[in-house]
């Protein structure tokens, strides 16, 4: 029996980021564990604060008179009596604190989000109340009347007669009026129940299982063999969309579950489609659960509670599902592992893949990564043998790969075509409109950095020190967001002397306008941050397009993920250059991924598709390799560049981020930190300080310093030095009043 507990107070002050000792009251003796969430009196006023139990001990280690007592468990006491795995969670938090330079409290908050109390919730479901024959008749009526949405819902329910309301409206894009109408017509019934249950209710249906191909089977066998040998390996599956990766994940998870262990299946929220979920439900029935942002906090807590109690074997969800409290974790699968959303952008700025690896190590579990366009990080590790590499090269559904063409916008300008659409794209668009097929026009706008390019020769103004495109600021200065280099804006192209040099500004709205004027008969939909700001509008636009209620969909990268539109036979990428010059070192990689994925949107159905990539830089390697669908080629060339300039994964990079409402303070501290880093270790490469790519947000001025080195530990030392220096300034009464954060191997510019 432990009479004392060391507790980290859940508070943002660095100064308090150390354990405090408390007495454990009698009634909590049985239930407290490392990781337990408690309320404790804190400070002079004994205000009740949340805290996390780190260790339990018998020895007080200080004057017992001065020790306060834990006040309460915020949950009913039984909440933690199960076989919870708090000790691993704390080890993981400690690792994150060190690796990402956050406070222990912030790391614990992240890792232990799942320790919040669960309450029974209301689950709404939709149930088919017609018999098989009646349903079939009704279906024919809907088809005759072209009531597409009703037809779709009915078909779904004929397969699985009872499904959660939120799934139907969310992932299947069925609107509330449609549900109301069908319910009034006596086709379906909406039910409400209070329970701890899964948000999904399915029976297992074995008939859907596929015989795995040789290549698929080899992967499943390989991963399970490693697992059985007790090795905590990471495997990377490189396979184009439709090559059967998901089927492989399912079989691996099945193998792990058969061995009595649990599985975490991570999928980026935006790619977490209804169809994908359904495949898992068919396999694992109610032993699988889903976690996503459409669930309320208490619904989430419910799922975690079920995981803790061992009621489920598999959890599917985005980043945060990694922290599901499975005591018997056996595998973590990360689909679309290259996705930027796996990087957490608030403290601790962790990368899901790295945390997954550490968690797997602690649990002796294995990690499986999958992507059609693996991140350079992962592929690099696959090359050097740290990861196991598996490849899937064939599409199993038939469906031909699209024909990809590049339209040279410089040539268009020379031919006198100043429109946003190249000749070739216009031609194909008109052809699709005539044939009644659908098109997607994609503007890969990203971030705010406005690069400046020449419309005659395609060259882009770059930083002479970093080989990164300069960004145009409002005062007509061109700025590098890595090193701070600045120069005045230009009136003519330094390469060819053309006056057609400027920042590219056309947005989705202008393109929509342009299309409406040019093709008055066409039905155009737009999907971007503006049109989707209202809740539910994202799904509404996509469902209306999926229902063929429009001919052309114009949108940002939001449209390239997750959704299948079999009616789409043309994809136009309006300006590939847009993401090429986003002003950060991952721009080419991101462009390659976006182009490859956008291209994959065409020709999912029977009709082969066309893709047109418009660009001022047809010779750019990211554009070239994407149009040739050549990942290896791209990887080699991009790695050359990263090695040359010491960008990750060839080296590691630490971004020190400073923010203050007082610009001078931020700038001055940045300067002093730079000196400190350089003096401390003359071997690390210190770049900057520079203004952040967003120079000011909410009246906070932003500065960055980048530090590069092949040795990660050196960067950690720089971070420790910066923290110690800051603490010292505070101690001598010179608090810099600047917020300092650390981002290791950053994914997006600050």
Q: Which residues bind ligand ADP (CB under 6 A)?
A: 210-213, 216, 239, 241-247, 396-397
* Helix ranges restricted to H, 364-415: 376-383, 409-414
Instruction: Give whole-number Cα distances, 735 to 561, 655, 665, in Å.
Output: 46, 22, 10
**Are 625 and 714 in contact, with CB atoms under 8 Å apart?**
no
Question: Smallest distance from the beta carbon of 582 to ligand ADP, in angstroms?
Answer: 27
Residue 694 partner contact from Zn ion, ligand ADP, none using kind-dependent CB cut-offs of 5 to 8 Å: none
Closest CA to 624 of 449, 406, 326, 319: 406
- The pair of structure tokens assigned to 303 is 């799922």
Q: Based on CB atoms, which residue is closest to Zn ion, 495 or 723?
A: 495
Q: Based on CB atoms, which residue is closest to Zn ion, 143 or 457?
A: 457
Residue 480 partner contact from ligand ADP, Zn ion, none using kind-dependent CB cut-offs of 5 to 8 Å: Zn ion
Longest dimension (CA), the chain: 88
Helices (H) and strands (E) in the chain, counts: 22, 30
Question: How many Cβ atoms are within 10 Å of 584's Cβ, its own excluded?
Answer: 23
Residue 59 partner contact from Zn ion, ligand ADP, none using kind-dependent CB cut-offs of 5 to 8 Å: none
Bridge-based pairing of strands 438-442 and 552-555 is parallel
Question: Smallest distance from the beta carbon of 367 to ligand ADP, in angstroms?
Answer: 17
Rule CB under 5 A: which residues touch Zn ion? 454, 456-457, 463, 465-466, 480, 482-483, 485, 493, 495-496, 498
Question: Smallest distance from the beta carbon of 333 to ligand ADP, in angstroms?
Answer: 11
Q: Based on CB atoms, which residue is closest to Zn ion, 100 or 706?
A: 706
Bridge-based pairing of strands 20-23 and 4-9 is antiparallel
Is residue 308 exposed (0-12), middle (13-18) or buried (19+ Cβ within 10 Å)? buried
Q: What is the secondary structure of 701-735 as a DSSP string? A: EEEEEEEEES-HHHHHHHHHHHHHHHHHHHHTT--
Q: Based on CB atoms, which residue is closest to ligand ADP, 239 or 555?
A: 239
Per-residue burial over 229-253, b if 16 or more Cβ lie within 10 Å, else e, is eeebbbbbbbbbbbbbbbbbbbbbb
Residue 239 partner contact from ligand ADP, Zn ion, none using kind-dependent CB cut-offs of 5 to 8 Å: ligand ADP
Q: Based on CB atoms, which residue is closest to ligand ADP, 212 or 490?
A: 212
Quote the strand ranges of 152-212, DSSP E.
162-164, 188-195
Question: Smallest distance from the beta carbon of 335 to ligand ADP, in angstroms?
Answer: 7
Q: Based on CB atoms, which residue is closest to Zn ion, 32 or 653?
A: 653
Residue 54 partner contact from Zn ion, ligand ADP, none using kind-dependent CB cut-offs of 5 to 8 Å: none
Residue 482 partner contact from ligand ADP, Zn ion, none using kind-dependent CB cut-offs of 5 to 8 Å: Zn ion
Q: Based on CB atoms, which residue is closest to ligand ADP, 222 or 489?
A: 222
User: Backbone phi, then psi, for 314, in 5-degree steps?
Assistant: -135, 135
Q: Based on CB atoms, which residue is closest to ligand ADP, 70 or 250?
A: 250
Residue 213 partner contact from Zn ion, ligand ADP, none using kind-dependent CB cut-offs of 5 to 8 Å: ligand ADP
Residue 493 partner contact from ligand ADP, Zn ion, none using kind-dependent CB cut-offs of 5 to 8 Å: Zn ion
Question: Smallest distance from the beta carbon of 705 to Zn ion, in angstroms?
Answer: 13
Q: Based on CB atoms, which residue is closest to ligand ADP, 243 or 620?
A: 243
Residue 219 partner contact from Zn ion, ligand ADP, none using kind-dependent CB cut-offs of 5 to 8 Å: none
Closest CA to 578 of 409, 334, 367, 741: 409
Q: Based on CB atoms, which residue is closest to Zn ion, 457 or 607?
A: 457
Question: Smallest distance from the beta carbon of 472 to Zn ion, in angstroms?
Answer: 15
Question: Smallest distance from the beta carbon of 7 to ligand ADP, in angstroms?
Answer: 44
Question: Smallest distance from the beta carbon of 268 to Zn ion, in angstroms?
Answer: 31
Question: Smallest distance from the beta carbon of 459 to Zn ion, in angstroms?
Answer: 5
Question: Smallest distance from the beta carbon of 465 to Zn ion, in angstroms?
Answer: 4
User: Backbone phi, then psi, for 614, in 5-degree steps?
Assistant: -90, 135
Closest CA to 422 of 440, 404, 410, 439: 410
Closest CA to 736 of 724, 745, 727: 727
CA 504 to chain centre: 27
Residue 496 partner contact from Zn ion, ligand ADP, none using kind-dependent CB cut-offs of 5 to 8 Å: Zn ion
């Amino acid at each position: 029996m432990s009479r004392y507990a060391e507790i980290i107070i859940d508070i943002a002050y660095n100064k308090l980021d150390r354990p405090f000792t408390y007495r454990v009251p009698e009634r909590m003796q049985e239930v407290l564990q490392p990781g337990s969430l408690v309320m404790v009196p804190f400070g002079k006023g004994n205000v009740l604060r949340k805290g996390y139990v780190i260790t339990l001990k018998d020895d007080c280690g200080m004057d017992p008179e001065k020790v306060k007592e834990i006040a309460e468990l915020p949950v009913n006491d039984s909440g933690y009596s199960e076989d919870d795995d708090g000790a691993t969670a704390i080890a993981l938090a400690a690792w994150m604190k060190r690796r990402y330079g956050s406070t222990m409290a912030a790391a614990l908050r992240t890792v232990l989000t799942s320790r919040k109390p669960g309450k029974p919730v209301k689950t709404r479901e939709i149930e088919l109340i017609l018999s098989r024959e009646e349903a079939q008749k009704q279906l024919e009526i809907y088809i005759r009347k072209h009531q597409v949405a009703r037809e779709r819902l009915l078909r779904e329910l004929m397969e699985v007669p009872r499904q959660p309301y939120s799934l139907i409206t969310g992932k299947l894009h069925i609107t509330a009026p449609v549900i109301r109408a069908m319910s009034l017509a006596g086709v379906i019934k909406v039910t409400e129940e209070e329970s701890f249950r899964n948000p999904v209710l399915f029976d297992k249906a074995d008939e859907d299982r596929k015989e795995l191909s040789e290549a698929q089977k080899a992967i499943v066998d390989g991963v399970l063999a490693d697992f059985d040998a007790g090795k905590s390996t990471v495997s990377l599956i490189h396979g184009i969309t439709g090559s059967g990766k998901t089927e492989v994940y399912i079989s691996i998870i099945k193998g792990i579950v058969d061995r009595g262990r649990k599985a975490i299946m991570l999928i980026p929220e935006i790619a977490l489609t209804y169809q994908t979920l359904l495949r898992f439900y068919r396999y694992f029935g109610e032993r699988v659960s889903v976690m996503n942002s459409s669930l309320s906090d208490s619904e989430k807590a419910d799922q975690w509670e079920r995981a803790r109690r061992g009621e489920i074997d598999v959890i599917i969800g985005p980043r945060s599902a990694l922290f599901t409290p499975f005591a018997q974790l056996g595998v973590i699968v990360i689909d679309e592992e290259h996705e930027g959303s796996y990087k957490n952008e608030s403290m601790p700025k962790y990368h899901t893949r790295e945390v997954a690896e550490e968690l797997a190590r602690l649990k002796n579990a294995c990690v499986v990564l999958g992507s059609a366009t693996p991140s350079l990080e992962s592929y690099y590790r696959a090359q050097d043998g740290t990861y196991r590499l598996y490849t899937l090269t064939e599409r199993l559904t038939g469906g031909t790969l699209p024909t990809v063409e590049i339209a040279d916008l410089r040539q268009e300008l020379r031919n006198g075509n100043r429109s946003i659409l190249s000749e070739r794209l216009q031609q194909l668009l008109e052809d699709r409109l005539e044939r009644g097929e659908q098109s997607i026009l994609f503007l890969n706008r990203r971030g705010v950095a406005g690069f400046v390019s020449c419309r005659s020769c395609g060259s882009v103004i770059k930083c002479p020190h970093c080989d990164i495109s300069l960004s145009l600021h409002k005062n007509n200065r061109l700025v590098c967001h890595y090193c701070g280099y600045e120069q005045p804006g230009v009136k003519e192209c330094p390469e060819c002397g053309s006056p057609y040099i400027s920042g590219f500004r056309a947005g989705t709205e202008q393109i929509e306008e342009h299309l409406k004027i040019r093709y008055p008969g066409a039905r155009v939909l737009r999907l971007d941050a503006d049109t989707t700001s209202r809740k539910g509008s994202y799904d509404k636009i996509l469902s209306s397009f999926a229902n063929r209620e429009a001919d052309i969909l114009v949108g940002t990268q939001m449209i390239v993920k997750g959704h299948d539109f079999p009616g789409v036979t043309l994809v136009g990428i309006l300006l590939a250059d847009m993401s090429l010059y986003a002003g950060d070192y991952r721009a080419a990689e991101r462009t390659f991924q976006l182009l490859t994925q956008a291209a994959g949107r065409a020709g999912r159905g029977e009709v082969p598709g066309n893709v047109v990539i418009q660009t001022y830089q047809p010779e750019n390697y990211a554009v070239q390799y994407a149009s040739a669908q050549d990942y290896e080629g791209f990887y080699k060339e991009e790695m050359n560049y990263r090695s040359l300039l010491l960008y990750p994964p060839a080296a590691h990079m630490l971004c020190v981020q400073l923010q203050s409402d007082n610009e001078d303070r931020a700038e001055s501290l940045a300067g002093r930190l730079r000196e400190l880093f350089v003096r401390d270790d003359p071997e690390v490469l210190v770049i900057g300080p520079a203004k952040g790519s967003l120079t000011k947000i909410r009246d906070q001025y932003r500065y960055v310093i980048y530090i590069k080195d092949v040795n990660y530990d050196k960067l950690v030392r720089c971070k420790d030095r910066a923290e110690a220096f800051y603490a010292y300034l505070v101690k001598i009464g010179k608090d810099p009043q600047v917020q300092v954060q650390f981002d290791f191997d950053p994914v997006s510019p600050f």
